[in-house]
Chain A
């Protein structure tokens, strides 16, 4: 988190792609890796990675969560930062891995692993102090902060500060930005009616901003929000911030 002393700029970073990005939004993952690469870092994507284990942990299946978590810990052996393009998965790995292995032989390893975990936008802002040059056309966007990025990772202003660096991008604040979109992993299917009410309200709040795009750092939220916006034919695109940033800073890349 931002108040903790920053490490030196590393030469190598690990990238943890997350299971949602792996299957549904690989473009967001690639964009995140490309942004890091452009900063002169060697980006390593260990092939044996899968999922942080959050779905099992949040459902109360801790042994299953531990089995998957341990596999991730083993997959990132070197003492390099682990950059995650999701506040939710990063939150699981940073704040819950130590709890998950409390009182077990793997605890020290889990803690050491956790200390190396960074949410992508936080890493870009606070470790790399990235400078962005906007090459795109004027656009109005709004931001959706995910619950876990804000409340587990302390990532609140970092992504917005990146957007503010872009001269042609107008960031319209959403007064209900901090309210949960209703995804909650299995919550969306366990409590479909409540989840539907929440995402419907979220979409309405996004629409009220008048933005043509909603950006987020979490593809779980985006899958939920985009699904609801598409079904209701709102004509608003929900995108991962990494993709947006890469596009805006690439000549001829901005849509």
Chain B
């Protein structure tokens, strides 16, 4: 169980964490807004992005086969993993055959889903994170709190202390350049001595078998070119039909994510090193992870979830995420996208509380670069969570159903759909409602920091009649 509601107060009562998130999210929102200052250009671009991803998702099975064929023809070895366990054993097998003892990793959320580092460690293979944010949380033995900026929950002072404690010869310093340089020095050796590189994939182009990887630190390029072996991990939804589809996605991704016009590095990987070429890995493997995604694909409405390009804009703009931070969600994908993706991948019996942890304010919907109807999907998942047998697509459907809630809503519908009952009930409530004690069930949660709502004495129905307004 994800226990979101129980864990939320831990983050809420941590003033440093609250401040770190608030400040970071405020900055990200301003930077993104500056990138999309022209509303018409934004509307046109996101329409294109949404079309590109919707088309790719609609043709997912055939595009995956096309991708496999193209990659294979280009010399990239393709592997299919139905579960994270299967993906882990595929990666382990490749590494063991190559005799690899150390891998250098670019950022990959799929590898977080797999808990790959932990798995490899158990088999005597050391995985070193090379993305600065991932490097920081690896030092801290923590999980990412954001899908793009994994250590966004930490402030400068916390990182300075972490580096001082973990990097030999580095004293406490809050100088960002000094901290970055220290990580860079430590990582240089790791790059040079790694037996394999592991990366994620931002977009895989079915038409050409191209793996597109965006990043800012050059660590992605080094991880995928320096070691003799490169393993790319991707969820099966990260597809585009053609190369022409890539520019709109690249125009949307970094601007939505970090407010940058483009990332410092855009890597396009199409094959291992060819004869006569001076660099690049000798072997490239692509592991395609399903882990519940094809189940999401099976439902024509829920399928929109798979359009996601993992920019993180939804969490940057989420009033809930910015208060509770990423770790409260417990699973790999936090924020609004996590609230719709996690219950589908893990099951509503496991993460069914997450779709309820939203005011449906639509701030995420407003900024999603591929127009995922997140709020509607939250409602869909809420519906599934209380209706057993409602959908075969969602695991754990009906697991949150309770007789008292079901009865309450039936009673509610009866009252509100029968005008005479409604009239009588509201006239009574208007007169007697203020007698409800502050500590009554439901009211208790409300009055902790608010006064009781004041019933008006007379309903608008009564007052409209008294004032002589017509009824028909």
Number of B residues whose C-beta is below 8 Å from A?
Answer: 69
- Fill in one digit per residue for B152-186: 1 if any A CB lies within 8 Å of its CB, else 0: 00000000000000000000000000000000000
6 more A-B contacts (CB under 8 A) besides A185-B359, A231-B447?
A17-B461, A19-B416, A30-B467, A45-B460, A51-B416, A193-B9
Q: Which of A30, A44, A193, A223 interacts with B463 by CB under 8 Å?
A: A30
In the assembled complex, A53 has its CB within 8 A of some CB on chain B = yes
A167 to chain B, nearest CB (A): 29
Provide the bound-state CA to CA distance between A231 and B446, in Å: 11
B23 to chain A, nearest CB (A): 13
Q: Is the CB of A198 within 8 A of B469?
A: no
Interface secondary structure of A, over-half rule: helix
Which chain A residues in 135-175 approach chain B with CB under 8 Å? 147-148, 151-152
- Fill in one digit per residue for B404-441: 1 if any A CB lies within 8 Å of its CB, else 0: 00000110110111110011001001100100000000
Provide the bound-state CA to CA distance between A59 and B458, in Å: 28
Provide the bound-state CA to CA distance between A182 and B416, in Å: 25
- On chain B, the residues within 8 Å of A243 by CB distance are none
In the assembled complex, B295 has its CB within 8 A of some CB on chain A = no
Provide the bound-state CA to CA distance between A226 and B446, in Å: 12
Provide the bound-state CA to CA distance between A62 and B385, in Å: 12
Q: Is the CB of A33 within 8 A of B464?
A: yes
B323 to chain A, nearest CB (A): 5
Which chain B residues in 359-392 approach chain A with CB under 8 Å? 359-363, 365-366, 376, 379, 381-387
In the assembled complex, A196 has its CB within 8 A of some CB on chain B = yes
A-contacting 9-mer, from B75-83, B282-290, B448-456? B448-456
- On chain B, the residues within 8 Å of A68 by CB distance are 413, 416-417
Question: Which residue of B has the minimal Cβ distance to A78?
Answer: B472
Q: Which of B382, B418, B433 interacts with A59 by CB under 8 Å?
A: B382
In the assembled complex, B101 has its CB within 8 A of some CB on chain A = no
Q: Is the CB of B412 within 8 A of A55?
A: yes
Provide the bound-state CA to CA distance between A198 and B359, in Å: 11
Q: Given A180-B363, A196-B449, are A23 and B430 also a contact pair (CB < 8 Å)? A: yes
- Fill in one digit per residue for A50-67: 1 if any B CB lies within 8 Å of its CB, else 0: 110101111111111101
Provide the bound-state CA to CA distance between A29 and B387, in Å: 36
Provide the bound-state CA to CA distance between A227 and B449, in Å: 8
In the assembled complex, A115 has its CB within 8 A of some CB on chain B = no
Provide the bound-state CA to CA distance between A193 and B409, in Å: 24
Q: Given A59-B382, A193-B8, are A64 and B412 also a contact pair (CB < 8 Å)? A: yes
- On chain A, the residues within 8 Å of B386 by CB distance are 59-61
Q: Which of A56, A61, A199 interacts with B450 by CB under 8 Å?
A: A199
In the assembled complex, B133 has its CB within 8 A of some CB on chain A = no
Interface secondary structure of B, over-half rule: helix
- On chain B, the residues within 8 Å of A19 by CB distance are 416, 426
B50 to chain A, nearest CB (A): 17
Interface residues on A, range: 35 or more
Question: Which residue of B has the minimal Cβ distance to A51?
Answer: B416
Provide the bound-state CA to CA distance between A17 and B463, in Å: 11
Provide the bound-state CA to CA distance between A70 and B413, in Å: 11
In the assembled complex, A71 has its CB within 8 A of some CB on chain B = yes
In the assembled complex, B242 has its CB within 8 A of some CB on chain A = no
In the assembled complex, A235 has its CB within 8 A of some CB on chain B = no
In the assembled complex, B51 has its CB within 8 A of some CB on chain A = no
Q: Is the CB of A187 within 8 A of B358?
A: yes
Q: Given A60-B382, A228-B449, are A47 and B471 also a contact pair (CB < 8 Å)? A: yes
Q: Is the CB of A151 within 8 A of B463?
A: no
Q: Given A180-B319, A227-B452, are A44 and B324 also a contact pair (CB < 8 Å)? A: no
Q: Given A187-B359, A194-B324, are A50 and B409 also a contact pair (CB < 8 Å)? A: no
In the assembled complex, A245 has its CB within 8 A of some CB on chain B = no
Instruction: Sample 17 A-B pairs with CB under 8 A, ordered by A number.
Output: A22-B461, A25-B456, A30-B460, A45-B469, A47-B465, A49-B419, A50-B415, A50-B419, A50-B422, A56-B413, A60-B379, A71-B418, A188-B446, A190-B357, A192-B445, A194-B324, A228-B450
B90 to chain A, nearest CB (A): 38
Q: Is the CB of A197 within 8 A of B12?
A: yes
Q: Is the CB of A56 within 8 A of B412?
A: yes
Provide the bound-state CA to CA distance between A27 and B356, in Å: 32
- On chain A, the residues within 8 Å of B9 by CB distance are 193
Q: Is the CB of B384 within 8 A of A60?
A: yes
In the assembled complex, A230 has its CB within 8 A of some CB on chain B = yes
In the assembled complex, B459 has its CB within 8 A of some CB on chain A = yes
